[in-house]
Amino acid sequence: MPGVDGFIYPNEVELQWGLLIVLYPYITGLVAGAFILASLERVFKVEAVRPTYRLALLTALAFLLVAPLPLQLHLGHPERSLEMYLTPHRSSAMAMFGFVYLWYLMVVLLLEIWLEYRADIVHLAQTTSGWRRLVYKLLTLGSENVSPEARRIDDKVSYIVTVIGIPSAFLLHGYVGFIFGSIKANPWWSTPLMPIVFLFSAMVSGIAAVLVLYMAFMKVERMRLDMSCLDTIAKFLFYTFVIDFSLEMLDLLHRTYEADESFRTLDFMVHTRLWGSQVLLQICAGTLLPLALLAANQVWRFSEMRRKAMYLIASLLTLVGIFAMRWNVVIGGQLFSKSFLGYTTYKVEFAAREGLLGAVGLMALPFILVVALVKLLPPWAGAAGARHGVPLEAGSLSGGKVSEG
Amino acid sequence: MDLGRRDFFKIGGKLLVLASAGATLDEIMGASTAPETYRMADHWWGMIIDIDKCIGCGNCVRACSQENNVPADFFRTWVERYQVEEGKQPRVDSPHGGIDGFPPSKREDLKSFFVPKLCNQCASSPCVQVCPVGATFVSPDGVVLVDESYCLGCRYCIQACPYGCRYLHPQKRTVDKCTLCYHRITKGLTTACCESCPTGARQLVDFKNPKDPVHEFLRQNKVEVLKPYMATQAKVYYKDLDGSVR
Amino acid sequence: MGRLFRDAGHLIRPALVLVAGLGAFLVLRAVVVPKDFGRYGHYRAGALAMVSARPISYAGHSQCEMCHEQEAKAHGGGKHANVACEACHGPLAKHADDPTPNVPKRPDVANLCRRCHEQDAGKPRGFPQVDTVAHSQGVLCDNCHQPHNPKL
């Protein structure tokens, strides 16, 4: 049989979860990571990353809105997907995840964004015209109270929402890890470490994404980059990456040492079918190289230009590397037979429903959405309709420190 | 014209068919979820397979395929041939699931045998556990079924099954699998695979029936389920299953 | 109290949106979820009937024996006694329901017998198996062996 080596169960020839299911944890991971970065400022008082607070929230929202799309495209009957909410099977991690997603979207992210942007929304509702005015009026939810006392209460509530939001973000992506990690039938997936590995790699990818977006937007909007902000983000990226890498190495070490029945077949798979995507792309290019670039900045002091280049390259490599990690988990878990006696192959189609073209489109969509959201709800000072020079307090535009010029 | 025995049986046969059709119609109309004479609570279905009797003819695979309209290249049941050489990994093959039998092997020096496989109708089923909507379930009489009008096609259950017995139906785009010929066993017939097995290697059993030969069988023979460490409480028992079988 | 309401009043709005959404969801659930869902377990009880109602293709040998008495008798005394009729003759429920228009095809002897009786190292040693080419020398099996009672 073409693509099959050795013996596999007859129903295992075709992979069930393909490129779209690789995309899905990648996208939700970016959500969790971006949100954690935002919460660094809000809850852990890391003032330096303040300029990216709003951008991180909008990034998280953009990716969260796109996240269900690869799932819908993948389902045999997407028109029945509402069943997950109407008759959720409580023993199924996938069903419970639907509610975690909804909770996170409604009660954490949308609420936090609304509370953060309320003053601006009201201001924009009062100063724009035409259909834009209508949109902003809708977003005010009918209340135009932006008195300092009201804003103080907003600030308090927003703080509580973020505090709840951190474990919610952990739950959001940890759950995806659990969806894989709880499958005893699949030894590549089944490990208690899976939710934690997923979570930390999500944080890594999310922080890297915000870093890249921040640099990109500052370049496009021709605004001055806050280097201390960038340095701090890179520092947290480095720390998170170290933890993530350690966890993955721990998993690898544990498997290699215990060498249970599945080890032989998994080891062979990594050395052959997954060599490029796991060893070369994920580990070498996607982890070791960015770690080296980031670590260098913790030891030596480079010029601003050099640092920006190193951070950008490190972040882009990280984003590729974390995608490769998702690929290796999802696809890798289906390349070997559960008989441990053979392997199959994954052929990515191009223009089919679950093909490459669609996947590229789906990956581009959140970035388009971020641009749209940034236009709708400008995150920085100097943007149209924004207040300028207002002392930095909850409700004013973050980045007030930025526009010092 | 005298009403001969043949005519009597012909008419009687037709009446029987009509009666069962009527009962079936009742089911479709929702009058009950099973024919009047069939009570789910009285049954707990499973299967016993005797490895030493299987000749790898593939009758079961063919019969199942025809009885259940199984799409080509997918299998509700299949047969594997094991050829075990001492000290080495077993060589296993299953050409088209064994649907046309196997190309004959002359290797008398190897330990060689056939293993029919199907859904193990697990009582503690990992596939049912992960279904997000309740489209797959264990029926009250112990058969794991799929509700094809409710299945989303998310394929989580296919990932969770340790035995590889589920697949996505290419046209219906819902998950499909062996139903233990539920539509037959609820009418007093045996499964298509057991019906067409020429050696009796496969036999349908009902654990709740005190007169079922399964009780004696389990007592007298060394039996095993596939992947017992998965703790799925599989209800397909294999007699004389070799340790090399995966 | 009044001041608190004035300053925090706007928070009621997102709360209302949430409650409205929850209400809409509950209404949807009451309307859309099948009424028999959950009767026996977390599934639609009607699924059992749906699966039970599938058409039958194999009649079962007891059906065949009702009409084909002679063949059943010869068959029952021979080596193929435990081989069901449809194991060789294929699915015949249509024929059993309405015999005259649904005439079954004669089995393809050239390939049929070989599937069971071709010599193979995997088959149990005591099972009757031959190298069919050497054994028959091109002659069809049923020239010498009566399939219902095959022992010579």
Domain boundary among the residues C33, C52, C71 is at C52
Same domain for B133 and B180, yes or no, is yes
Q: Name every residue whose Cβ is closer than 8 Å to that of residue C40 and which is 6 or more positions away in sequence.
A: B139, B140, C48
Q: Look at residues A19, A101, A23 and name the one whose alpha carbon lies nearest to residue A65.
A: A101
Query: Is residue A281 assigned to a domain?
Result: yes
Confidence check: pLDDT of C41 > 60: yes
User: Span B45-74, mean pLDDT?
Assistant: 97
8 A C-beta contact, residue B89 and residue B68: no
Same domain for B16 and B115, yes or no, is no
Taking contacts as CB-CB distances below 8 angstroms, the residues of chain B near A340 are: 246
Same domain for B24 and B84, yes or no, is no
User: Span C40-58, mean pLDDT?
Assistant: 96
Q: What is the CATH number of the domain that holds A364?
A: 1.20.1630.10
**Structure confidence at residue B145 as a pLDDT band (50, 70, 90):** very high
User: Span A338-355, mean pLDDT?
Assistant: 93
Same domain for C123 and C87, yes or no, is yes
Confidence check: pLDDT of B1 > 70: no
Interface test with C, best of B55, B100, B125 (most C CBs within 10 A): B55
Do C115 and B100 lie within an 8 Å CB cutoff?
Answer: yes
Q: How far is A73 from chain B (nearest CA, A)?
A: 10
8 A C-beta contact, residue B191 and residue B48: no
B135, closest residue in chain C (CA to CA)? C43
Domain count, chain C: 2
Taking contacts as CB-CB distances below 8 angstroms, the residues of chain B near C97 are: 14, 17
Q: Look at residues A119, A195, C53 and name the one whose alpha carbon lies nearest to residue B30.
A: C53
Same domain for C67 and C33, yes or no, is no
Taking contacts as CB-CB distances below 8 angstroms, the residues of chain C near B130 are: none
**Structure confidence at residue A361 as a pLDDT band (50, 70, 90):** very high
Confidence check: pLDDT of B29 > 50: no
Q: How far is B49 from chain A (nearest CA, A)?
A: 18
**Structure confidence at residue B28 as a pLDDT band (50, 70, 90):** very low
CB-based burial of residue A7 (10 Å sphere; 0-12 exposed, 13-18 middle, 19+ buried)?
buried
8 A C-beta contact, residue B68 and residue C139: no
User: Span A289-308, mean pLDDT?
Assistant: 96
Same domain for B121 and B1, yes or no, is no
Whether chain B has a CB inside 8 Å of the CB on A337: the answer is yes
Same domain for B33 and B48, yes or no, is no
Same domain for C68 and C134, yes or no, is yes
User: Span B60-71, mean pLDDT?
Assistant: 97
Q: How far is C6 from chain B (nearest CA, A)?
A: 44
Q: How far is A320 from chain B (nearest CA, A)?
A: 26
Residue with tokens 């959720």: A88
Q: How far apart are CA A138 and CA C40, in angstroms?
A: 46
Q: How far is C33 from chain A (nearest CA, A)?
A: 7
Interface test with C, best of A87, A109, A113 (most C CBs within 10 A): A87
Q: What is the CATH number of the domain that holds B124?
A: 3.30.70.20
Mean per-residue pLDDT of chain C:
91
Q: Which domain holds residue C16?
A: 2-52
Same domain for B241 and B149, yes or no, is yes
Same domain for B30 and B147, yes or no, is no
Q: Choose between C31 and A145: higher pLDDT.
A: C31
Tokens found for residue A265: 């077949």
Domain count, chain A: 1
Left, alpha or beta for A141 (phi > 0: left; psi -120 to 50: alpha)? left
Do C14 and A143 lie within an 8 Å CB cutoff?
Answer: no
Nearest residue, CB atoms, A341 vs list B92, B174, B230: B92
Same domain for B151 and B184, yes or no, is yes
Residue A51: C-alpha distances to residues A166, A398, C110 (Å): 19, 5, 81
Same domain for C71 and C28, yes or no, is no
**Structure confidence at residue C9 as a pLDDT band (50, 70, 90):** confident
Do A184 and B174 lie within an 8 Å CB cutoff?
Answer: no
Q: How far apart are CA B88 and CA B28, in angstroms?
A: 53
Same domain for C67 and C126, yes or no, is yes
Same domain for C77 and C48, yes or no, is no
Taking contacts as CB-CB distances below 8 angstroms, the residues of chain B near C66 are: 9, 12-13
Do C122 and B102 lie within an 8 Å CB cutoff?
Answer: yes
Do A16 and B155 lie within an 8 Å CB cutoff?
Answer: yes
Q: How far apart are CA C149 and CA B27, in angstroms?
A: 41
A91, closest residue in chain C (CA to CA)? C42
Same domain for C86 and C137, yes or no, is yes
Taking contacts as CB-CB distances below 8 angstroms, the residues of chain C near B184 are: 56, 58, 60
Same domain for C74 and C135, yes or no, is yes
Query: Is residue C152 assigned to a domain?
Result: no
**Structure confidence at residue C17 as a pLDDT band (50, 70, 90):** very high
Q: Which domain holds residue B4?
A: 1-37
Interface test with A, best of C10, C31, C44 (most A CBs within 10 A): C10
Query: Is residue A398 assigned to a domain?
Result: no
Query: Is residue C29 assigned to a domain?
Result: yes
Same domain for C77 and C126, yes or no, is yes
Confidence check: pLDDT of B22 > 70: no
**Structure confidence at residue A41 as a pLDDT band (50, 70, 90):** confident
Same domain for C47 and C101, yes or no, is no
- The ipTM, to two decimals, is 0.90
Same domain for B169 and B220, yes or no, is yes
Same domain for B13 and B95, yes or no, is no
Mean per-residue pLDDT of chain B:
90
Q: How far is C143 from chain A (nearest CA, A)?
A: 38
C43, closest residue in chain A (CA to CA)? A87
Query: Is residue C149 assigned to a domain?
Result: no
Chains that touch A (3 or more CB pairs under 8 A): B, C
Interface test with B, best of A12, A15, A74, A89 (most B CBs within 10 A): A89
User: Span C12-31, mean pLDDT?
Assistant: 94
Whether chain B has a CB inside 8 Å of the CB on A339: the answer is yes
Q: Which domain holds residue A196?
A: 5-376
Same domain for B191 and B172, yes or no, is yes
Same domain for C26 and C94, yes or no, is no
pLDDT (0 to 100) of residue C5: 72
Domain count, chain B: 2
Q: How far is C32 from chain A (nearest CA, A)?
A: 8
Query: Is residue C91 assigned to a domain?
Result: yes
DSSP A138-190: HHTTT-----HHHHHHHHHHHHHHHHHHHHHHHHHHHHHHHHHHT-TT-TTT-
Q: How far apart are CA C144 and CA C152, in angstroms?
A: 8
Same domain for C65 and C134, yes or no, is yes
